[in-house]
């Protein structure tokens, strides 16, 4: 991904955020006679809403974290059908880190796979 590609993704997200302001946000928070709801909320209520939104962001980030861990584990399980394949990949991807042993890498992968329920009946590489 180039810097321009990344910038285009940021532009897309910004456009989607603006769209939400103009659609759902307008329905919920805009009154033609009064403007945006946040502009006339008592300060205590504005803080309450802001805290609720921050708490929701934590919840969404946690959900995303869980799904990413599961995706990582599923990807690792599908990439490596055997410990030998994992070792070969690891030697190429992390040559300095594996100068001594593959076991830390395997332990990491097994822990992540096992931690989200992707271990097969014959172990994580089955």
Average of per-residue pLDDT across 25-54: 93
Of the candidates 75, 84, 80, the one whose C-alpha atom is nearest the C-alpha of residue 126 is 80
pLDDT 10s digits, 60-92: 999 988 888 878 777 776 666 666 676 677 677
Domain range list for the chain: 1-40, 42-126
Of the candidates 78, 126, 85, the one whose C-alpha atom is nearest the C-alpha of residue 105 is 85
Is residue 35's pLDDT more than 50?
yes
What pLDDT does residue 16 have? 94
Is residue 120's pLDDT more than 70?
no
């Amino acid at each position: 991904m180039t810097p321009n590609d990344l910038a285009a993704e940021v532009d897309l997200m910004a456009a989607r955020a603006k769209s939400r302001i103009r659609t759902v946000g307008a329905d919920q928070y805009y009154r033609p006679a009064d403007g945006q709801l946040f502009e006339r909320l008592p300060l205590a209520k504005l803080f309450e809403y802001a805290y609720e939104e921050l708490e929701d962001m934590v919840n969404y980030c946690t959900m995303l974290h869980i799904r990413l861990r599961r995706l990582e584990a599923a990807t690792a399980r599908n990439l490596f059908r055997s410990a030998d394949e994992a070792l070969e990949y690891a030697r190429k991807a992390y040559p300095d880190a594996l100068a001594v042993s593959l076991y830390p890498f395997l332990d990491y992968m097994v822990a992540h796979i096992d931690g989200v329920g992707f271990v097969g009946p014959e172990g994580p590489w089955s």
